[in-house]
Chain A
Amino acid sequence: MNNKITGAEIVLKSLAEQGVEVVFGYPGGAVLPIYDTLFKQNSIKHVLVRQEGGAIHAAEGYARSTGKTGVVLVTSGPGATNVVTGLTDAMMDSVPIVCITGQVPQHLIGSDAFQECDTTGITRPCTKHNYLVKDVNKLSSVFHEAFTIAQNGRPGPVLIDIPKDVQFASGTYEEKNKIIIPSHRLFEPSPDFEKNKIEEAVELISKAKKPIFYIGGGCINSGPKASKLVREFINTVGSPVTMTLMGLGVVGSSDKNSLGMLGMHGMYEANMAMHECDVMINIGARFDDRVTGRLDAFSPNSKKIHIDIDESNINKTINVDVPIIGDVKQVVEKMIALWKEKKFKIDDKTLKLWWDKINEWKKVDCLNYNNEGNQIKPQYAVQRLYELTKNTKTFITTEVGQHQMWAAQFYKFEEPNRWLTSGGLGTMGYGFPAAIGAQVGHPDALVVDIAGDASILMNIQEMSTAVQYRLPVKIFILNNEYMGMVRQWQELLHGGRYSESYTDSLPDFVKLAESYKAVGLRAKTTDELDDVITQMIETKNTVIADIWVTKEENCFPMIQSGSAHNEMMLSKDQKQDKKSAEKGKILV
């Protein structure tokens, strides 16, 4: 029995065997044994954040930019409750995370001990699975299962709660390949899964007159190969394609088939094409309410194919005709093979008619904005940022709000995994820590957090983290002194009563950067903008670029809540009829 090691050592050994290179965390009483073991080894790097909420968003940014699992280590009680937002965010956006929390020793559990909380109880609905490990001998098998579950099927966050006495106790370590995970605990598509459905789907596509591909984040989660296959299939079919906020980059922005993003602030042509299509091919998207708008008017005349790895997404909000449960790359690979084997082709004339219609919609030029004067328009700022960074390997993260939508509209993504944004949960404060995580995963890349002045303050403490680890993250603030999206809704739906959406007493962001020993830059007018962006890119240090933009700019086009895809607002002057606006008001 001399090969026994402590629970804390088992934790580190499990992480090492799982190939973990970096852990984002914050120490505290209930995880001290693990931190002690961490101190004695060199293979795993630890990034010390300034608040646990930052740790989990950093792990998300790391995971989504690298395709690996993000690992978080925090203490019990407040450490655990502070990661709840990030766990929910990762759950909604299907990000593989393993979160380790300390817990008070077992004999104190249930006694309202100092820094005790029911971590597994609190995080049950916001994790894919969670564990309270009471037996040190089960620790390694729990870790190996946790990593598998986090990555398997539809990825998601898994939490492991470890009482302090278990960290001290000694037990045996079991290797990854010795662990057998029962099949019901995993997603295992059968080898010839859904073959009939795939045939049905491919045949349906071949007969389409007005097809459209509707691509979501599932294509990114399926790995880079999935994006390649999806592009290949779309090219072979010759169909237009639109992407969700989470799916941007699966098909390149410059691809001739791409109509850009769809949904609430999506492209006019993309939403119109969704409304008018006769065959919709949903790959890895989930008919989110930001995409569908009013459900009973959603793409009323189309046959719908839905490829999803999570069966619960099928017929959840929209009934589909051909559901296919499976991993995107496997399904699309089979679809391509079948398409070629049967020599399917939509005839050029039919497709041309459809493209002619789409090209008419494109002429609306829905992203057009008035760019007069020397005040910087937020859209222009993002456009310039894109132009000046497009030849560099760039990762863009965002916070949540108007700036996020402008980034999605005006920054052009050519590759998957380069765009990190909080889609499902809409977490303000996500972007900066996520950028830190992305920079840790890609030390040589340019990582820019396109932020708003309100969002950035939600996790501004992570400046200290970025500077400590010499992470040259760039924060590009579109500063309008408002919570812009809240203000926009108040303008459009609440009679212009800007209740609590103006931020008084904002910090001087340049001085703020300097106080963290980072670099602060500011652009007040259009003629300063390019210089500031160039300087920001060239600075080998953490930078805050404070871009003063016009204050009351609205984000268009917009489908107001409760409206259909063909009822887009292109500008403020184009008011919605009052009845649907009133209905939309009760929605989010």
Chain B
Amino acid sequence: MNKSVYASPDQVSETKRHILTVLVDNEPGVLARVIGMFSGRGYNIDSLNVAEVSNDENISRITIVTHGTSEVVSQIEKQLLRIIPVHSVTNLDQEGSSVEAEVALVYIYISDTNKKKVYQLCDLYRARKIENENNTTIFEIAGASERVNRFIKEINEITKVEIVRSGPVAISSIQKNEEE
């Protein structure tokens, strides 16, 4: 595919993963506004998380994992700020150190042959058993996405699993906060 002659001059910056947290008024349609901006302008959403975070002020925090060059991500931030109910946009990668975590629920088929291995692995990753019936167990694992990825990869090598993941949420780390 030929590069469009309207495309920007060759970018030097590389494509990177970014975590954006967006504080929004918790009003109907606000999520649609945010994700509609992404699809309408051709940006990527790798994962998305929304929840109300303060009871009194009706504010929700949206955590979006995206990837792009720094130029693209800076454009995403500015476009998000144009949305009327958006309070603030924080790029946690630019903020420096941040802490992220996600939750995965893993539905694992257990047999006598793999039982030991599965429990060992879950122990190693501190995955918590939350339900158990006959040959199936549901484990919960929380932590950084990379850790969850590794767990899933290894458990997949042992047995058949079904997985649901929340995608990461993130916050700037304590060290960072104390510096300020």
Contacts and interface: CB of A to CB of B under 8 A. Distances in A.
A128 interface: yes
A185 B4 CA distance: 36
Given A295-B7, A312-B78, A316-B75, A120 B87 contact: no
Given A310-B82, A312-B82, A315-B71, A587 B28 contact: no
B78 A311 contact: yes
Nearest to B79: A312
Residue among B6, B33, B88 facing the most chain A CB atoms (10 A cut-off): B6
B78 A314 contact: yes
A124 B5 contact: no
Contact of B8 (A121, A317, A583): A317
Nearest to A186: B84
Interface size class of B (residues with CB under 8 A): 20 to 34
B32 interface: yes
Given A120-B29, A184-B87, A311-B81, A294 B75 contact: no
| Binding site secondary structure of chain B | mixed
B74 interface: yes
Nearest to A181: B84
Interface string A286-311: 00010000111000000000000011
Contacts of A295: 5-9
Contacts of B78: 311-312, 314
Residue among A128, A184, A586, A587 facing the most chain B CB atoms (10 A cut-off): A184
B7 A312 contact: no
Contact of A185 (B7, B33, B71, B84): B84
B84 A587 contact: no
A586 B1 CA distance: 12
Interface string B5-44: 1111110000000000000010011001100110010000
A121 B32 contact: yes
A562 interface: yes
B29 A587 contact: no
B75 A312 contact: yes
A129 B29 CA distance: 11
A125 interface: yes
B113 interface: no
B6 A587 contact: yes
A201 B154 CA distance: 58
A296 B36 contact: no
Contacts of B10: 296
A296 B4 CA distance: 11
What 8 pairs between A and B have smallest CB-CB spacing?
A: A312-B78, A562-B5, A129-B84, A184-B87, A296-B9, A294-B5, A311-B78, A185-B84
Interface of B: 2, 4-10, 25, 28-29, 32-33, 36-37, 40, 71, 74-75, 78-79, 81-82, 84-88
24 contacts: A120-B29, A121-B29, A124-B32, A124-B33, A130-B29, A132-B29, A184-B87, A185-B25, A294-B6, A295-B6, A295-B7, A295-B9, A296-B5, A296-B10, A311-B81, A312-B75, A312-B78, A312-B81, A314-B78, A315-B74, A315-B75, A317-B6, A561-B5, A587-B6
Interface of A: 120-121, 124-125, 128-130, 132, 149, 182, 184-185, 289, 294-296, 310-312, 314-317, 561-562, 583-584, 586-587
Given A129-B84, A296-B9, 9 more contacts: A120-B29, A294-B6, A296-B10, A311-B78, A312-B78, A312-B82, A314-B78, A317-B6, A587-B5
